[in-house]
Structure formats: C-alpha cells, structure tokens
Amino acid sequence: MLELDNVSAVRGATTIWSDGTFAVPSGSITGVIGPNGSGKTTLLLMILGLLRPGSGKITVFGQVPKRGNTRIGYVPQNYASIAGESIRARDLVLLGLTGATYGLRRTSREQHARVDQVLAEVGAGGFGDRRMSQLSGGQQQRVAIAQALVGNPRMLLLDEPLANLDVRNQQEIVDLLSRINTERGIDILLVVHDLNPLLSVLDGAIYLLDGHAHHDNVNEVVSEELLTHLYGTAIKVVRTPQGDLFTRSA
C-alpha cells in the first residue's frame, strides 16, 4: 500500500515532477512509465527513504519512508553492471539476508535454506553456484529478484528490470513477477519503458508526464492519446478477441 499526497520530486534545485496525489492499492502490479529523466528512479528512491520529497507526504504501509525498511525489496537499475566476476549468485542473494549485519556470526543453516528456497522460487536453482558474470541477462535478473525477495518483503521495487532483455526473457520475467505477486500477495512496482510485455498482468500504472505524476488503472492508462503524448510518437491501442491489449507505433 503506497500513498502520495501532493508530492513533488526535487533533485538539487530542480523540481522533476509535482502534484503527485494518488494511492496504489495493496496486492497490485503497477508499472511506472515516463520518458528518460522524468523521475522514475527518483520516485523509487523516495519510496525507499533515500530521498525526501520536495514537498507533500509519502506513506508506505502507513509509515513515512525511511532507510532500512525491511518491508521493501529493491532491484536497482543496471543491475548487471555489478562486480559479477567476483561473486557467486547464492552469495549475492545471501547478502540480501545478512548484508546489513555487523559482527562475527556464522550463516545459519536456516539462512542457507532460505537462499536455496528463494533461488528455486525464481527459477535460479540450477545456477546458484555460478558467478554472476557467467549468467545471461535473464538469469542475472532472476538472481537480483531472489536477493530482493529473500528478506520476505511486502513490496518489490524494480527499476527497469526488462531493459536489455530479449522479448522471450522479458515475458519470462513478467510471468515470474506475476506469479510472485499472486503467490506471495505482495505489491510490485516496476519501472518500464514499454507497456506491451506487461499488459496481461498490470493492475495500474504511475505515469510521469509533463512534470506531473498520475496514477490510473490499467484501462485508463492505455489510451492512445496519453501514450502518444507520453512518448512523443504515435501509438495505437488494439484490443484482441481474447481481450489483450497491444500498443504499437502507428
């Protein structure tokens, strides 16, 4: 459950967007869309408590965001660029569980079991022992999601998890997120550039447009005028007999 009340996003002296007033209902999958530099990552950072809103109020599960919120799992942008040659997938996931703990403490059997279980859950059970650099983009993304999930969060924030993936891998990650959403009943907020791969699972979208933030349910978001306006190129909405929606450049 995420609520914004008249929030503005400010970086340095610049207001990136303002007038953000909306509520994202619990248990939903929400896309965050907007052109480059429109403040999508900035929104995530504010939800994580790493950045204060310039004005207004954000509440996550009824509380003002603050660093170290264990109820949020986070997969940052450009995840694949981390030091992948020097770490195994399972050690990376384990850091999601123990990485904030100071002092000498052996990793418990339960913690190892949790890592195994979450790796299996995201379909990464087969390559936990490999180094991150030995994995494909889709596999790396699964490991990143496992790390975000291992602490049993109630909300998952993913910054452009579909970037740099081919269409089939995009669909597999979307299916995985949809399954996590259903099975765990957690909120998922993901930044995307293209709504197409998400349309079958999306509950709503936050769109950052002309310096303003809006939230709407999926059917309202996917209107031709809005998307065309948003991306600056003509986009067409097609409804198939199965009820699926597609957007294409006209």
Partner 1 sequence: MGIVAAGVQFQSNWLEILSSPFMRTAFIAGVLVAVASGLIGYFVIVRGSMFASHALAHIGFPGATGAALVGSSVFTGLVVFTVVGGVVIGLLGKKASDREIATGTVLAWATALGVLFASLASGNTSTVTNILFGNLLAIPSQQLVVFAIFLVVLAIVLLVIFRPLLFTSIDPEVAEAKGVNVKGLGIAFMILLALVVSMAVTVVGVLLIFALLVTPAAAALRFTARPGWVIFWSSVIGVASVAVGLVIAAMINLPPSFFIVTTVFVVWLVAAGLRRERALVRPTGGHPQHGDPVHEH
Looking at the Cβ atoms of 147 and 196, the one nearer to partner 1 is 147
Judged by CB under 6 A, the stretch of 33-41, 62-70, 122-130, 131-139 that binds ligand ADP is 33-41
Contact between 48 and partner 1 by CB under 8 A: the answer reads: yes
By CB under 8 A, name the one of 28, 147, 181, 247 that touches partner 1: 147
Looking at the Cβ atoms of 146 and 235, the one nearer to partner 1 is 146
Contact between 34 and ligand ADP by CB under 6 A: the answer reads: yes
Cα(32)–Cα(55) distance, integer angstroms: 20
By CB under 6 A, name the one of 8, 30, 41, 69 that touches ligand ADP: 41
By CB under 8 A, name the one of 30, 127, 154, 198 that touches partner 1: 127
Cα(199)–Cα(247) distance, integer angstroms: 9
By CB under 8 A, name the one of 7, 10, 92, 174 that touches partner 1: 92
Judged by CB under 5 A, the stretch of 36-44, 65-73, 87-95, 122-130 that binds Mg ion is 36-44
Contact between 41 and Mg ion by CB under 5 A: the answer reads: yes
Task: Give the DSSP letter of residue 135.
Answer: S
By CB under 8 A, name the one of 20, 53, 128, 138 that touches partner 1: 138
Rounded CA Rg of the chain: 18
Cβ 232 to partner 1 shortest distance, Å: 29
Residue 81's contacts (CB-CB under 8 Å, 6 or more residues apart) are none
Beta pairing class for 204-209 and 212-217: antiparallel
Contact 194, 167 (CB under 8 A): no
3-state SS, one letter per residue, for 180-222: HHHHHCCEEEEECCCCHHHCCCCCEEEEEECCEEEEEEHHHHC
